Amino acid sequence: MIETLTQPWPWYVAGTIIGLIVPTLLILGNRHFGISANLRHMCAACFPSNIPFFKYDWKKESWNLFFIGGILVGGIISTQYLNSPDPVVIHPDLAKDLTQFGITDFSGLVPVQLFSFDQLFTVRGLIMMVGGGFLVGFGTRYAGGCTSGHAIMGLSDLQWPSLVATICFMIGGFLMTNLILPYILAL
Amino acid sequence: MKQKETDFEVRSLDTMCVNESELVHPWWYNFKYAAVGVIFGIVFIKAEIISWFRIQEMFKLQSFHMYGVIGTAVVVGAISVFLIKKLKIKTIHGEEITFTNKKFNKGQVYGGLIFGLGWAITGACPGPLFAQLGSGSLAVIVVIASAIAGTWVYGKFRDQLPH
């Protein structure tokens, strides 16, 4: 049992469990699956700064903060107790591309050669960590949701604006990875 | 409230308050959502959804993995939502489960593109960021802080942005 759990889980298992989170949250308390609104709640809780967008009763949405707290704990649990002994398998073409940019350590889920405190003092690291994070926070709120709120919850409820948002997420991602990121990685 | 009328992000556009419950529960009831989050976090790690490399493979069409995960999740989610509506399933507290239609605005295009760019750089959407932090990549706290700052800047300037 534990051996099965420590192996990387196939996509259909992960997809099914994530899909089931949608009805679970609805049945537990009519909560709509979504993550990025938490960033707004954190602003509302910590830095409302008299901005109308952040003046609402964030405490009513505190379930969402508990939810991401759980995600954090889930990350700790699986890393501590369900860790796979095998290295992460990476597509050979991706490995080849990344090696050109000096990224050779594929051992973790998050590449330490790009995302670490040391990297903050490099132009590349600064752009990727601070710039990338900023785009995620700004873009998700501007779009009114992220992969969970739009791509999974919105599409599950057959909302066409969510389909528009999801297609735009993908276009943005394709543009970045294939056209822009090579220049950033070369820095 | 006057403010509501000028609010572009009407209730339907966001998870924010679309599902306000009439019932008042003690705060620790929220731990049930934390429990769901724990499962979600474990799946994130074990299916390598939070892997920066998996996201690059997705956008380079080198792997079916992420498409499989998101596609399956949508199919399972859609069947569940359909059944909940069809069978008028109620919450465990006997409340009605409600859905609000999302309204289109240009933010879904502009914001969507901007988020897509960020997603491919960081290799993470907001959920995985927290799982990455949990998995021991402490430097991701910088990415999260910057994402919060991005949300704040959006809130500050949203009146000037096209919607």
pLDDT tens per residue across span B69-124: 999 999 999 999 999 999 999 999 999 999 989 999 999 999 999 999 999 999 99
In terms of Cβ atoms closer than 10 Å to its own Cβ (0-12, 13-18, 19+), residue A176 is: buried
| Final residue of a structural domain among A41, A60, A83 | A83
In DSSP terms, B90 is beta-bridged to B96
Structural domain span for residue A133: 114-187
Residues A79 and A140 grouped into a single domain: no
Q: Which residues of A touch B153 (CB under 8 A)?
A: 134, 138
Residues A21 and A78 grouped into a single domain: yes
Candidate from A75, A128, A147 with C-beta closest to B130: A75
A29 or B23, higher pLDDT: A29
State the average pLDDT over residues A50-70.
93
Is there a domain that residue A94 lies in?
no
pTM for this entry? 0.92
Question: Cβ–Cβ of A22/B68 closer than 8 Å?
Answer: no
For residue A84, the distance in angstroms to the closest alpha carbon of chain B comes to 8
pLDDT of residue B7: 42
Is there a domain that residue A88 lies in?
no
Residues A26 and A73 grouped into a single domain: yes
pLDDT of residue B22: 59
Residues A7 and A78 grouped into a single domain: yes
Is there a domain that residue A105 lies in?
no
The answer to whether A182 contacts chain B (CB < 8 Å) is no
Q: Which residues of A touch B63 (CB under 8 A)?
A: 91
Residues A58 and A129 grouped into a single domain: no
Is there a domain that residue A104 lies in?
no
| Final residue of a structural domain among A63, A83, A103 | A83
SS3 assignment, position A56: coil
Rg for chain A, CA atoms, rounded? 19
Is there a domain that residue A121 lies in?
yes
In A8-67, the residues whose Cβ lies within 8 Å of chain B are 8-40, 42-43, 47, 49, 51-56, 60-64, 66-67
Backbone angles phi, psi at B103, to 5 degrees: -105, 140
pLDDT of residue B20: 55
Residues A68 and A138 grouped into a single domain: no
| Final residue of a structural domain among A67, A83, A99 | A83
In tens, the pLDDT along A143-179 reads: 999 999 999 999 999 999 999 999 999 999 999 999 9
Q: For chain A, what is the domain count?
A: 2
Residues A4 and A79 grouped into a single domain: yes
